[in-house]
Amino acid sequence: MEYVNHPLMLDYDELKNYTSLDPENRFTDELLLNSAHLTIERYLDRYLTKRLVYETIRPEGRLLETYHYPVTEVITVHVEGSETDSDVKAKVASEYGDGRHIMLESEQSELCNVEYTAGYDSGSAPSVLKEAVLKTYLLKKRNLHAVSNTPDDDPEDITEMMSDEVKQMLQPFRRKTL
């Protein structure tokens, strides 16, 4: 059987360092790990693993604020408008420290179609995010066994995706809205 190979911040091989795993259950463990990772992404409302993102953003002067972060590379910025319809040079604005900003070469007022890479790889992911994935994986695995061992289990047990401890850990990474 071929196993799922997905780009996660915490992959199966690294998971083995934190918990004991049975090689015969590898497929189930990888599915649970993927599910834990997706649960964290949904809770934070953004991608965590490195991905290519296409986004339309209205600039504020020379600055673009992205939805997904951290931005690791700007591929293209295409400015649309009545007077101009061209690509402009841009770079990751590291001086803001949050990884969400792209600095344009010149001021723009029209919408920009931006192609960029954002997210973490295994080596750059904050340890808090990895720990949240690990704890969510362990909770899902514990609930999976509880459900399989008791046929009349309450469905509420399955829908509890993350512990309150993990939610508290993730607060600094959540999207801020006013």
Residue-range domain boundaries for the chain:
12-40+123-173, 51-118
CA torsion through residues 133, 10, 37, 49, sign: positive
Q: What pLDDT, on the 0 to 100 scale, is given for residue 56? A: 93
Strand-pair partners of 104: 90
Residue, of 123 and 3, whose pLDDT is higher: 123
Q: What pLDDT, on the 0 to 100 scale, is given for residue 152? A: 46
Which region among 28-37, 77-86, 96-105, 150-159 has the lowest average model confidence (pLDDT)?
Answer: 150-159
Query: Has this prediction a pTM greater than 0.85?
Result: no
Is pLDDT of 108 > 60?
Answer: yes
